[in-house]
Structure 1
Protein backbone atom coordinates (compact mmCIF):
# COMPACT_ATOMS: atom_id res chain seq x y z
CA UNK A 1 0.00 0.00 0.00
CA UNK A 2 1.36 3.39 -0.99
CA UNK A 3 1.48 5.97 1.79
CA UNK A 4 -0.27 9.22 0.98
CA UNK A 5 1.52 12.55 0.72
CA UNK A 6 -0.24 13.79 3.87
CA UNK A 7 0.95 10.75 5.88
CA UNK A 8 4.57 10.33 4.78
CA UNK A 9 5.69 13.92 4.34
CA UNK A 10 8.97 14.41 2.46
CA UNK A 11 10.95 17.52 1.67
CA UNK A 12 11.74 18.40 -1.99
CA UNK A 13 15.07 16.52 -1.72
CA UNK A 14 13.14 13.43 -0.47
CA UNK A 15 14.43 13.82 3.10
CA UNK A 16 12.01 13.08 5.95
CA UNK A 17 10.01 16.19 6.87
CA UNK A 18 11.11 17.26 10.37
CA UNK A 19 14.50 15.59 10.75
CA UNK A 20 15.62 16.65 7.26
CA UNK A 21 17.46 13.33 6.85
CA UNK A 22 17.84 10.88 3.98
CA UNK A 23 17.88 7.13 4.69
CA UNK A 24 21.65 6.92 4.21
CA UNK A 25 22.22 9.67 6.80
CA UNK A 26 21.29 7.60 9.85
CA UNK A 27 23.43 4.96 11.55
CA UNK A 28 22.05 1.78 13.12
CA UNK A 29 23.10 3.08 16.54
CA UNK A 30 21.33 6.34 17.38
CA UNK A 31 22.03 8.40 20.48
CA UNK A 32 19.20 10.82 21.27
CA UNK A 33 19.68 13.92 23.41
CA UNK A 34 17.13 16.57 24.31
CA UNK A 35 19.26 19.68 23.95
CA UNK A 36 20.48 20.49 20.44
CA UNK A 37 23.60 22.03 21.98
CA UNK A 38 24.47 18.62 23.41
CA UNK A 39 24.86 17.09 19.93
CA UNK A 40 28.36 18.56 19.38
CA UNK A 41 29.26 17.58 22.95
CA UNK A 42 28.76 13.99 21.83
CA UNK A 43 30.19 14.20 18.32
CA UNK A 44 33.37 15.95 19.51
CA UNK A 45 34.42 12.51 20.76
CA UNK A 46 33.92 10.90 17.32
CA UNK A 47 36.99 9.88 15.33
CA UNK A 48 35.42 11.78 12.44
CA UNK A 49 32.07 13.38 11.58
CA UNK A 50 30.66 12.54 8.15
CA UNK A 51 27.40 14.45 8.26
CA UNK A 52 25.83 17.46 9.98
CA UNK A 53 22.22 18.30 9.26
CA UNK A 54 19.49 20.15 11.09
CA UNK A 55 16.02 21.62 10.97
CA UNK A 56 14.26 23.37 13.85
CA UNK A 57 15.40 21.73 17.09
CA UNK A 58 16.35 18.49 15.33
CA UNK A 59 20.13 18.43 14.82
CA UNK A 60 21.93 15.29 13.62
CA UNK A 61 25.62 14.43 13.45
CA UNK A 62 26.68 11.06 12.03
CA UNK A 63 30.21 9.81 12.27
CA UNK A 64 32.41 7.08 13.68
CA UNK A 65 33.72 6.25 17.15
CA UNK A 66 36.28 3.46 17.54
CA UNK A 67 35.31 2.20 14.11
CA UNK A 68 31.54 2.07 14.75
CA UNK A 69 29.14 4.29 12.81
CA UNK A 70 26.95 6.30 15.21
CA UNK A 71 24.37 9.06 14.85
CA UNK A 72 23.54 11.56 17.57
CA UNK A 73 20.24 13.42 17.21
CA UNK A 74 18.56 16.10 19.31
CA UNK A 75 14.87 15.60 20.06
CA UNK A 76 13.98 18.78 21.87
CA UNK A 77 11.99 18.55 25.09
CA UNK A 78 8.97 16.33 25.67
CA UNK A 79 7.24 13.16 24.58
CA UNK A 80 5.38 14.97 21.78
CA UNK A 81 8.73 15.58 20.09
CA UNK A 82 9.68 11.95 20.70
CA UNK A 83 6.60 10.92 18.69
CA UNK A 84 8.01 12.86 15.73
CA UNK A 85 11.58 11.64 16.15
CA UNK A 86 10.79 7.95 16.63
CA UNK A 87 8.36 7.77 13.71
CA UNK A 88 10.76 9.56 11.37
CA UNK A 89 13.82 7.55 12.46
CA UNK A 90 11.81 4.38 11.82
CA UNK A 91 10.65 5.68 8.45
CA UNK A 92 14.27 6.24 7.39
CA UNK A 93 15.07 2.53 7.70
CA UNK A 94 11.72 0.79 7.21
CA UNK A 95 9.93 2.76 4.49
CA UNK A 96 10.93 2.91 0.83
CA UNK A 97 10.77 6.64 0.04
CA UNK A 98 10.74 6.07 -3.73
CA UNK A 99 7.76 3.71 -3.65
CA UNK A 100 6.23 5.32 -0.52
CA UNK A 101 5.63 1.85 0.92
CA UNK A 102 6.62 -0.12 4.03
CA UNK A 103 9.54 -2.48 3.43
CA UNK A 104 8.91 -6.21 3.85
CA UNK A 105 12.23 -6.75 5.63
CA UNK A 106 12.48 -4.57 8.73
CA UNK A 107 15.59 -3.01 10.28
CA UNK A 108 16.03 -2.79 14.06
CA UNK A 109 17.98 0.13 15.48
CA UNK A 110 19.69 0.63 18.83
CA UNK A 111 18.29 3.89 20.23
CA UNK A 112 19.85 5.18 23.44
CA UNK A 113 18.82 8.31 25.28
CA UNK A 114 21.55 10.32 27.00
CA UNK A 115 19.72 12.73 29.26
CA UNK A 116 19.57 14.61 32.52
CA UNK A 117 17.14 13.99 35.32
CA UNK A 118 16.15 14.66 38.92
CA UNK A 119 16.03 11.96 41.59
CA UNK A 120 13.09 11.64 43.99
CA UNK A 121 14.76 9.00 46.17
CA UNK A 122 17.26 10.15 48.85
CA UNK A 123 19.70 7.30 48.16
CA UNK A 124 20.16 8.29 44.49
CA UNK A 125 22.75 11.04 44.75
CA UNK A 126 23.58 13.79 42.29
CA UNK A 127 26.04 12.82 39.54
CA UNK A 128 24.73 9.22 39.51
CA UNK A 129 24.38 7.52 36.12
CA UNK A 130 20.84 6.11 36.17
CA UNK A 131 19.90 3.37 33.69
CA UNK A 132 16.13 2.97 33.34
CA UNK A 133 14.66 -0.54 33.36
CA UNK A 134 11.06 0.71 33.30
CA UNK A 135 9.35 4.01 32.57
CA UNK A 136 5.95 5.36 33.55
CA UNK A 137 4.52 7.86 31.09
CA UNK A 138 2.11 10.63 32.02
CA UNK A 139 2.19 11.96 28.45
CA UNK A 140 -0.57 9.82 26.79
CA UNK A 141 1.40 9.48 23.50
CA UNK A 142 1.33 5.68 23.62
CA UNK A 143 -2.45 5.63 24.09
CA UNK A 144 -2.85 6.87 20.51
CA UNK A 145 -1.30 3.60 19.27
CA UNK A 146 -2.38 -0.04 19.61
CA UNK A 147 -0.14 -0.57 22.61
CA UNK A 148 -1.95 -2.27 25.48
CA UNK A 149 -0.02 -5.49 24.84
CA UNK A 150 3.30 -3.83 25.79
CA UNK A 151 1.98 -2.02 28.87
CA UNK A 152 1.82 -3.20 32.50
CA UNK A 153 -1.80 -2.49 33.51
CA UNK A 154 -1.43 -4.06 36.97
CA UNK A 155 1.27 -1.51 37.87
CA UNK A 156 -0.71 1.29 36.27
CA UNK A 157 -3.89 0.53 38.24
CA UNK A 158 -1.99 0.16 41.51
CA UNK A 159 -0.35 3.54 40.86
CA UNK A 160 -3.68 5.24 40.11
CA UNK A 161 -5.08 3.95 43.42
CA UNK A 162 -1.98 4.95 45.37
CA UNK A 163 -1.91 8.48 43.93
CA UNK A 164 -5.69 9.05 44.06
CA UNK A 165 -5.15 10.10 40.46
CA UNK A 166 -7.47 12.78 39.09
CA UNK A 167 -9.79 11.60 36.32
CA UNK A 168 -8.91 14.80 34.45
CA UNK A 169 -5.30 13.67 34.00
CA UNK A 170 -4.15 11.21 31.34
CA UNK A 171 -3.95 7.54 32.33
CA UNK A 172 -0.35 6.62 33.20
CA UNK A 173 1.26 3.79 31.22
CA UNK A 174 4.23 1.61 32.12
CA UNK A 175 6.69 0.21 29.57
CA UNK A 176 10.01 -1.61 29.72
CA UNK A 177 13.38 -0.92 28.14
CA UNK A 178 15.00 -3.44 25.85
CA UNK A 179 16.39 -5.88 28.41
CA UNK A 180 19.40 -6.97 26.34
CA UNK A 181 20.52 -3.45 25.44
CA UNK A 182 20.00 -2.27 29.01
CA UNK A 183 22.06 -5.16 30.36
CA UNK A 184 24.88 -4.29 27.97
CA UNK A 185 24.91 -0.69 29.22
CA UNK A 186 24.79 -1.69 32.87
CA UNK A 187 27.87 -1.79 35.11
CA UNK A 188 28.99 -0.98 38.63
CA UNK A 189 29.03 2.66 37.49
CA UNK A 190 25.25 2.76 36.98
CA UNK A 191 22.14 2.54 39.15
CA UNK A 192 19.05 0.82 37.75
CA UNK A 193 15.87 2.86 37.85
CA UNK A 194 12.13 3.21 37.21
CA UNK A 195 11.73 6.56 35.47
CA UNK A 196 8.65 8.77 35.49
CA UNK A 197 8.20 10.74 32.27
CA UNK A 198 6.33 13.95 32.99
CA UNK A 199 4.42 16.27 30.65
CA UNK A 200 6.10 19.44 31.92
CA UNK A 201 8.98 20.76 34.00
CA UNK A 202 7.18 22.83 36.61
CA UNK A 203 3.74 21.79 37.88
CA UNK A 204 3.89 18.27 36.42
CA UNK A 205 7.13 17.71 38.36
CA UNK A 206 5.81 19.27 41.56
CA UNK A 207 7.63 22.59 41.16
CA UNK A 208 5.77 25.60 42.49
CA UNK A 209 6.61 29.16 41.48
CA UNK A 210 3.47 31.34 41.29
CA UNK A 211 0.75 28.84 40.41
CA UNK A 212 -1.02 26.60 42.90
CA UNK A 213 -0.61 22.87 42.30
CA UNK A 214 -3.46 20.39 41.93
CA UNK A 215 -1.58 18.02 44.26
CA UNK A 216 0.93 19.54 46.67
CA UNK A 217 2.10 16.05 47.67
CA UNK A 218 2.75 14.85 44.12
CA UNK A 219 6.47 14.06 44.47
CA UNK A 220 6.26 12.49 47.93
CA UNK A 221 3.43 10.23 46.72
CA UNK A 222 5.45 9.33 43.61
CA UNK A 223 8.44 8.48 45.78
CA UNK A 224 6.41 6.32 48.16
CA UNK A 225 4.80 4.20 45.43
CA UNK A 226 6.10 0.61 45.48
CA UNK A 227 4.88 -2.30 43.37
CA UNK A 228 6.52 -5.70 43.88
CA UNK A 229 9.79 -4.02 44.78
CA UNK A 230 9.63 -1.50 41.92
CA UNK A 231 9.96 2.11 43.07
CA UNK A 232 9.96 5.28 40.98
CA UNK A 233 13.45 6.74 41.06
CA UNK A 234 13.59 9.87 38.92
CA UNK A 235 11.67 12.40 36.83
CA UNK A 236 12.31 13.50 33.24
CA UNK A 237 10.33 14.11 30.04
CA UNK A 238 11.18 11.62 27.24
CA UNK A 239 11.99 8.04 28.26
CA UNK A 240 8.53 6.42 28.32
CA UNK A 241 7.70 7.45 24.76
CA UNK A 242 11.10 6.23 23.53
CA UNK A 243 10.63 2.84 25.19
CA UNK A 244 7.04 2.41 24.07
CA UNK A 245 7.40 3.47 20.45
CA UNK A 246 10.66 1.55 20.01
CA UNK A 247 9.05 -1.63 21.29
CA UNK A 248 6.05 -1.21 18.98
CA UNK A 249 8.33 -0.60 15.99
CA UNK A 250 10.75 -3.43 16.73
CA UNK A 251 13.72 -1.29 17.77
CA UNK A 252 15.88 -1.68 20.89
CA UNK A 253 15.79 1.25 23.31
CA UNK A 254 17.59 2.19 26.50
CA UNK A 255 17.83 5.35 28.56
CA UNK A 256 20.74 6.71 30.56
CA UNK A 257 20.34 9.86 32.66
CA UNK A 258 22.85 11.69 34.78
CA UNK A 259 21.16 12.79 37.98
CA UNK A 260 21.77 16.51 38.25
CA UNK A 261 19.27 17.24 41.04
CA UNK A 262 18.01 15.42 44.12
CA UNK A 263 14.51 16.73 44.72
CA UNK A 264 14.23 15.22 48.21
CA UNK A 265 17.06 17.27 49.70
CA UNK A 266 17.20 20.14 47.20
CA UNK A 267 20.77 19.49 46.10
CA UNK A 268 22.16 20.08 42.60
CA UNK A 269 25.31 18.82 40.89
CA UNK A 270 28.34 21.01 41.59
CA UNK A 271 29.71 20.34 38.09
CA UNK A 272 26.88 19.35 35.74
CA UNK A 273 28.91 19.84 32.55
CA UNK A 274 31.56 17.40 33.72
CA UNK A 275 28.93 14.86 34.78
CA UNK A 276 27.19 15.06 31.40
CA UNK A 277 30.48 14.65 29.54
CA UNK A 278 31.40 11.66 31.69
CA UNK A 279 28.05 10.02 30.85
CA UNK A 280 28.59 10.67 27.15
CA UNK A 281 32.03 9.02 27.24
CA UNK A 282 30.68 6.13 29.32
CA UNK A 283 27.89 5.51 26.77
CA UNK A 284 30.18 5.70 23.73
CA UNK A 285 32.68 3.30 25.26
CA UNK A 286 29.93 0.88 26.28
CA UNK A 287 28.23 0.69 22.88
CA UNK A 288 31.51 0.19 21.06
CA UNK A 289 32.45 -2.66 23.38
CA UNK A 290 29.36 -4.75 22.54
Structure 2
Protein backbone atom coordinates (compact mmCIF):
# COMPACT_ATOMS: atom_id res chain seq x y z
CA UNK A 1 0.00 0.00 0.00
CA UNK A 2 1.28 3.48 -0.90
CA UNK A 3 1.58 5.64 2.21
CA UNK A 4 -0.33 8.92 2.64
CA UNK A 5 2.94 10.85 2.67
CA UNK A 6 3.76 9.55 -0.83
CA UNK A 7 0.36 9.63 -2.53
CA UNK A 8 -1.09 12.89 -1.21
CA UNK A 9 -4.81 13.50 -1.64
CA UNK A 10 -6.91 16.56 -0.86
CA UNK A 11 -9.87 16.33 1.58
CA UNK A 12 -12.18 15.73 -1.42
CA UNK A 13 -9.96 12.80 -2.54
CA UNK A 14 -8.55 14.68 -5.53
CA UNK A 15 -4.83 14.41 -6.30
CA UNK A 16 -2.82 17.01 -4.38
CA UNK A 17 -1.42 19.52 -6.88
CA UNK A 18 -3.69 19.06 -9.89
CA UNK A 19 -6.90 18.96 -7.84
CA UNK A 20 -8.25 16.23 -10.12
CA UNK A 21 -10.15 12.99 -9.66
CA UNK A 22 -9.83 10.04 -12.07
CA UNK A 23 -13.14 10.79 -13.80
CA UNK A 24 -12.03 14.36 -14.61
CA UNK A 25 -9.50 13.47 -17.32
CA UNK A 26 -9.55 11.94 -20.78
CA UNK A 27 -6.96 9.53 -22.18
CA UNK A 28 -5.84 12.16 -24.71
CA UNK A 29 -4.22 15.07 -22.88
CA UNK A 30 -2.76 18.27 -24.31
CA UNK A 31 -0.04 19.99 -22.29
CA UNK A 32 0.51 23.75 -22.52
CA UNK A 33 2.83 25.83 -20.39
CA UNK A 34 0.68 28.94 -20.09
CA UNK A 35 -2.58 28.63 -18.13
CA UNK A 36 -4.17 31.27 -20.39
CA UNK A 37 -3.62 28.99 -23.38
CA UNK A 38 -5.94 26.32 -21.95
CA UNK A 39 -9.07 28.27 -22.82
CA UNK A 40 -7.64 29.29 -26.21
CA UNK A 41 -7.79 25.58 -27.03
CA UNK A 42 -11.06 24.65 -25.31
CA UNK A 43 -12.79 27.63 -26.91
CA UNK A 44 -12.71 25.47 -30.05
CA UNK A 45 -14.40 22.55 -28.27
CA UNK A 46 -18.04 21.60 -28.82
CA UNK A 47 -18.48 21.53 -25.03
CA UNK A 48 -16.51 21.67 -21.78
CA UNK A 49 -17.64 19.29 -19.04
CA UNK A 50 -15.07 20.03 -16.34
CA UNK A 51 -12.82 22.91 -15.31
CA UNK A 52 -10.56 23.51 -12.32
CA UNK A 53 -7.41 25.37 -11.39
CA UNK A 54 -4.93 25.12 -8.53
CA UNK A 55 -1.83 27.32 -8.68
CA UNK A 56 -0.49 27.26 -12.25
CA UNK A 57 -2.20 23.94 -13.00
CA UNK A 58 -5.40 24.68 -14.93
CA UNK A 59 -7.39 21.77 -16.37
CA UNK A 60 -10.37 21.62 -18.69
CA UNK A 61 -11.95 18.50 -20.21
CA UNK A 62 -14.48 18.47 -23.00
CA UNK A 63 -15.46 17.26 -26.46
CA UNK A 64 -13.95 18.28 -29.79
CA UNK A 65 -15.83 16.82 -32.76
CA UNK A 66 -17.05 14.08 -30.46
CA UNK A 67 -13.61 13.19 -29.03
CA UNK A 68 -13.02 13.65 -25.30
CA UNK A 69 -9.83 15.65 -24.67
CA UNK A 70 -8.21 17.17 -21.59
CA UNK A 71 -6.06 20.30 -21.68
CA UNK A 72 -3.69 21.02 -18.78
CA UNK A 73 -1.30 23.90 -18.12
CA UNK A 74 1.93 22.60 -16.63
CA UNK A 75 3.68 25.86 -15.88
CA UNK A 76 7.36 26.17 -16.73
CA UNK A 77 10.18 23.70 -16.29
CA UNK A 78 11.04 20.02 -15.71
CA UNK A 79 10.18 20.19 -12.00
CA UNK A 80 6.55 21.00 -12.84
CA UNK A 81 6.49 18.17 -15.38
CA UNK A 82 7.55 15.80 -12.59
CA UNK A 83 4.44 16.81 -10.64
CA UNK A 84 2.00 16.76 -13.54
CA UNK A 85 2.98 13.45 -15.11
CA UNK A 86 3.29 11.54 -11.84
CA UNK A 87 -0.10 12.79 -10.68
CA UNK A 88 -1.78 12.05 -14.02
CA UNK A 89 -0.36 8.55 -13.90
CA UNK A 90 -1.64 8.12 -10.36
CA UNK A 91 -5.13 9.15 -11.50
CA UNK A 92 -5.34 6.27 -13.99
CA UNK A 93 -3.03 3.61 -12.52
CA UNK A 94 -3.45 3.78 -8.73
CA UNK A 95 -6.62 2.86 -6.87
CA UNK A 96 -7.16 5.77 -4.46
CA UNK A 97 -9.29 3.69 -2.09
CA UNK A 98 -6.86 0.79 -1.62
CA UNK A 99 -3.74 2.90 -2.38
CA UNK A 100 -2.45 0.06 -4.54
CA UNK A 101 -1.23 -0.01 -8.14
CA UNK A 102 -3.93 -1.36 -10.43
CA UNK A 103 -3.47 -4.76 -12.09
CA UNK A 104 -4.58 -3.32 -15.43
CA UNK A 105 -2.53 -0.25 -16.38
CA UNK A 106 -3.73 2.57 -18.63
CA UNK A 107 -1.59 4.39 -21.19
CA UNK A 108 -2.27 8.07 -21.79
CA UNK A 109 -1.51 10.07 -24.93
CA UNK A 110 0.36 13.25 -23.99
CA UNK A 111 0.68 15.97 -26.63
CA UNK A 112 2.66 19.07 -25.75
CA UNK A 113 1.87 22.28 -27.62
CA UNK A 114 4.63 24.77 -26.90
CA UNK A 115 6.60 27.71 -28.22
CA UNK A 116 10.30 27.54 -28.87
CA UNK A 117 13.27 29.13 -30.60
CA UNK A 118 15.04 27.45 -33.50
CA UNK A 119 18.81 26.91 -33.38
CA UNK A 120 19.20 26.10 -37.09
CA UNK A 121 18.89 28.54 -40.00
CA UNK A 122 16.84 26.10 -42.09
CA UNK A 123 14.01 26.02 -39.52
CA UNK A 124 12.47 29.50 -39.80
CA UNK A 125 10.20 31.40 -37.47
CA UNK A 126 6.52 30.46 -37.88
CA UNK A 127 7.32 26.83 -38.66
CA UNK A 128 6.55 23.80 -36.46
CA UNK A 129 9.02 21.29 -35.03
CA UNK A 130 7.88 17.86 -33.89
CA UNK A 131 10.48 16.57 -31.44
CA UNK A 132 11.60 13.08 -32.49
CA UNK A 133 14.22 13.11 -29.73
CA UNK A 134 14.84 15.35 -26.75
CA UNK A 135 17.96 15.88 -24.65
CA UNK A 136 17.49 16.95 -21.05
CA UNK A 137 20.13 19.33 -19.69
CA UNK A 138 18.45 19.35 -16.27
CA UNK A 139 18.97 16.73 -13.55
CA UNK A 140 15.34 15.97 -12.71
CA UNK A 141 14.98 12.69 -14.59
CA UNK A 142 18.24 11.35 -13.14
CA UNK A 143 16.34 10.86 -9.88
CA UNK A 144 14.76 7.84 -11.61
CA UNK A 145 16.25 4.65 -13.12
CA UNK A 146 16.29 5.71 -16.77
CA UNK A 147 18.80 3.40 -18.49
CA UNK A 148 15.97 1.37 -20.06
CA UNK A 149 14.53 4.40 -21.89
CA UNK A 150 17.54 6.67 -22.58
CA UNK A 151 19.89 6.70 -25.58
CA UNK A 152 23.36 6.57 -24.08
CA UNK A 153 25.17 6.73 -27.43
CA UNK A 154 23.71 10.15 -28.24
CA UNK A 155 24.31 11.27 -24.65
CA UNK A 156 27.98 10.35 -24.87
CA UNK A 157 28.36 12.04 -28.25
CA UNK A 158 26.84 15.24 -26.87
CA UNK A 159 29.10 15.21 -23.81
CA UNK A 160 32.18 14.70 -25.97
CA UNK A 161 31.36 17.25 -28.66
CA UNK A 162 30.32 20.02 -26.26
CA UNK A 163 32.90 19.22 -23.57
CA UNK A 164 29.96 19.12 -21.16
CA UNK A 165 30.89 19.69 -17.51
CA UNK A 166 29.55 16.67 -15.61
CA UNK A 167 29.43 18.79 -12.44
CA UNK A 168 26.14 20.02 -13.95
CA UNK A 169 24.88 16.42 -14.22
CA UNK A 170 24.75 14.02 -17.15
CA UNK A 171 22.38 14.96 -20.00
CA UNK A 172 19.79 12.34 -20.96
CA UNK A 173 18.28 11.60 -24.38
CA UNK A 174 14.77 10.17 -24.82
CA UNK A 175 12.81 9.32 -27.96
CA UNK A 176 9.22 10.36 -28.58
CA UNK A 177 6.41 7.85 -29.02
CA UNK A 178 6.62 6.36 -32.50
CA UNK A 179 2.85 5.85 -32.46
CA UNK A 180 2.20 9.55 -31.87
CA UNK A 181 5.00 10.59 -34.22
CA UNK A 182 3.22 8.75 -37.04
CA UNK A 183 -0.14 10.21 -36.02
CA UNK A 184 1.03 13.84 -36.00
CA UNK A 185 3.54 13.71 -38.84
CA UNK A 186 2.98 15.59 -42.09
CA UNK A 187 4.89 17.47 -44.77
CA UNK A 188 3.96 20.72 -43.01
CA UNK A 189 6.29 20.19 -40.05
CA UNK A 190 9.96 19.55 -39.30
CA UNK A 191 11.18 16.56 -37.31
CA UNK A 192 13.55 17.78 -34.64
CA UNK A 193 15.90 17.10 -31.77
CA UNK A 194 14.87 19.34 -28.88
CA UNK A 195 17.08 20.48 -26.01
CA UNK A 196 15.36 20.95 -22.65
CA UNK A 197 17.03 23.34 -20.21
CA UNK A 198 16.43 23.52 -16.48
CA UNK A 199 16.14 27.31 -16.51
CA UNK A 200 15.63 30.30 -18.80
CA UNK A 201 18.70 32.46 -18.18
CA UNK A 202 22.02 30.81 -17.33
CA UNK A 203 20.96 27.30 -18.39
CA UNK A 204 20.11 28.69 -21.85
CA UNK A 205 23.27 30.77 -22.10
CA UNK A 206 21.65 34.13 -21.28
CA UNK A 207 23.81 36.56 -19.33
CA UNK A 208 22.38 39.44 -17.31
CA UNK A 209 24.50 40.04 -14.18
CA UNK A 210 25.81 36.53 -13.55
CA UNK A 211 28.69 34.83 -15.33
CA UNK A 212 27.86 31.37 -16.71
CA UNK A 213 29.93 28.19 -16.57
CA UNK A 214 30.39 27.84 -20.36
CA UNK A 215 30.14 30.95 -22.53
CA UNK A 216 30.44 28.84 -25.69
CA UNK A 217 27.78 26.25 -24.87
CA UNK A 218 25.14 27.68 -27.24
CA UNK A 219 27.58 27.67 -30.15
CA UNK A 220 28.63 24.09 -29.37
CA UNK A 221 24.99 22.99 -29.13
CA UNK A 222 24.25 24.63 -32.48
CA UNK A 223 27.11 22.67 -34.05
CA UNK A 224 26.39 19.31 -32.39
CA UNK A 225 25.79 16.48 -34.87
CA UNK A 226 25.01 12.79 -34.47
CA UNK A 227 24.36 10.63 -37.56
CA UNK A 228 23.09 13.68 -39.43
CA UNK A 229 20.90 14.82 -36.52
CA UNK A 230 21.32 18.33 -35.07
CA UNK A 231 19.70 20.05 -32.12
CA UNK A 232 16.86 22.03 -33.65
CA UNK A 233 15.33 24.01 -30.79
CA UNK A 234 15.62 24.86 -27.11
CA UNK A 235 12.87 24.94 -24.45
CA UNK A 236 12.15 23.74 -20.90
CA UNK A 237 9.78 20.74 -20.83
CA UNK A 238 10.00 18.17 -23.64
CA UNK A 239 12.77 15.84 -22.43
CA UNK A 240 11.17 15.56 -18.99
CA UNK A 241 7.80 14.72 -20.59
CA UNK A 242 9.36 12.08 -22.83
CA UNK A 243 11.36 10.51 -20.01
CA UNK A 244 8.55 10.21 -17.48
CA UNK A 245 6.05 9.11 -20.13
CA UNK A 246 8.38 6.35 -21.31
CA UNK A 247 9.09 5.17 -17.76
CA UNK A 248 5.40 5.14 -16.82
CA UNK A 249 4.18 3.49 -20.02
CA UNK A 250 2.49 6.50 -21.62
CA UNK A 251 2.94 7.93 -25.12
CA UNK A 252 4.23 11.48 -25.63
CA UNK A 253 4.92 13.87 -28.48
CA UNK A 254 5.99 17.53 -28.41
CA UNK A 255 4.90 20.02 -31.08
CA UNK A 256 6.76 23.32 -31.00
CA UNK A 257 5.66 26.54 -32.65
CA UNK A 258 8.90 28.23 -33.67
CA UNK A 259 8.55 31.92 -32.91
CA UNK A 260 12.24 32.88 -33.14
CA UNK A 261 15.32 31.79 -35.05
CA UNK A 262 18.52 32.34 -33.12
CA UNK A 263 20.77 31.44 -36.06
CA UNK A 264 19.19 34.15 -38.24
CA UNK A 265 18.44 36.58 -35.42
CA UNK A 266 14.78 36.77 -36.43
CA UNK A 267 11.51 36.78 -34.47
CA UNK A 268 8.02 35.97 -35.72
CA UNK A 269 5.84 38.83 -36.92
CA UNK A 270 2.74 36.78 -36.09
CA UNK A 271 3.53 34.53 -33.07
CA UNK A 272 -0.08 34.25 -31.90
CA UNK A 273 -1.28 33.27 -35.35
CA UNK A 274 1.45 30.61 -35.54
CA UNK A 275 0.37 29.16 -32.20
CA UNK A 276 -3.29 29.18 -33.26
CA UNK A 277 -2.43 27.27 -36.44
CA UNK A 278 -0.57 24.67 -34.38
CA UNK A 279 -3.50 24.31 -31.97
CA UNK A 280 -5.93 23.63 -34.82
CA UNK A 281 -3.45 21.25 -36.49
CA UNK A 282 -3.13 19.29 -33.23
CA UNK A 283 -6.87 19.02 -32.64
CA UNK A 284 -7.53 17.84 -36.18
CA UNK A 285 -4.81 15.18 -35.94
CA UNK A 286 -6.31 13.97 -32.64
CA UNK A 287 -9.74 13.37 -34.17
TM-score using structure 1 length: 0.97
Distance (whole Å) between structure 2 residues aligned to residue 25 and residue 14 of structure 1: 12
Q: Tell me which moved more, 200-209 or 27-36.
A: 200-209
Q: Tell me which moved more, 2-11 or 262-271.
A: 262-271
Q: Structure 1 residue runs of 4+, over 6 Å off? A: none
The match for 1:213 is 212
The match for 1:195 is 194
Query: 1:72, CA displacement in angstroms?
Result: 0.1
Q: Secondary structure at the match of 1:3?
A: coil
Cα deviation digits, residues 256-290 of structure 1 (max 9, x gap)? 010011111221111111111111000000111xx
Distance (whole Å) between structure 1 residues aligned to residue 212 and residue 143 of structure 2: 27
The match for 2:93 is 94
Q: Which runs of 5+ in 1 are unaligned?
A: none
The match for 1:69 is 68
Distance (whole Å) between structure 1 residues aligned to residue 40 and residue 159 of structure 2: 39
The match for 2:258 is 259
The match for 1:248 is 247
Cα deviation digits, residues 87-116 of structure 1 (max 9, x gap)? 000000001111111100000110000000
Q: Which runs of 5+ in 2 are unaligned?
A: none
Query: 1:205, CA displacement in angstroms?
Result: 1.2
Distance (whole Å) between structure 2 residues aligned to residue 144 and residue 98 of structure 1: 28
Q: Tell me which moved more, 59-68 or 201-210.
A: 201-210
Q: Secondary structure at the match of 2:59?
A: strand
**1:121 is the counterpart of 2:144:** no
Distance (whole Å) between structure 2 residues aligned to residue 7 and residue 212 of structure 1: 38
Distance (whole Å) between structure 2 residues aligned to residue 236 and residue 167 of structure 1: 21
TM-score using structure 2 length: 0.98
Query: 1:209, CA displacement in angstroms?
Result: 2.4
Cα deviation digits, residues 135-194 of structure 1 (max 9, x gap)? 000112221111111111111111111111113211100000001111110101110000
Distance (whole Å) between structure 1 residues aligned to residue 166 and residue 109 of structure 2: 36
**1:54 is the counterpart of 2:24:** no
Distance (whole Å) between structure 2 residues aligned to residue 167 and residue 250 of structure 1: 29
**1:149 is the counterpart of 2:148:** yes
- How many pairs were matched up? 287
Q: Secondary structure at the match of 2:166?
A: coil
Distance (whole Å) between structure 1 residues aligned to residue 98 and residue 211 of structure 2: 53
**1:177 is the counterpart of 2:159:** no
Distance (whole Å) between structure 1 residues aligned to residue 168 and residue 65 of structure 2: 46
Distance (whole Å) between structure 1 residues aligned to residue 209 and residue 145 of structure 2: 39
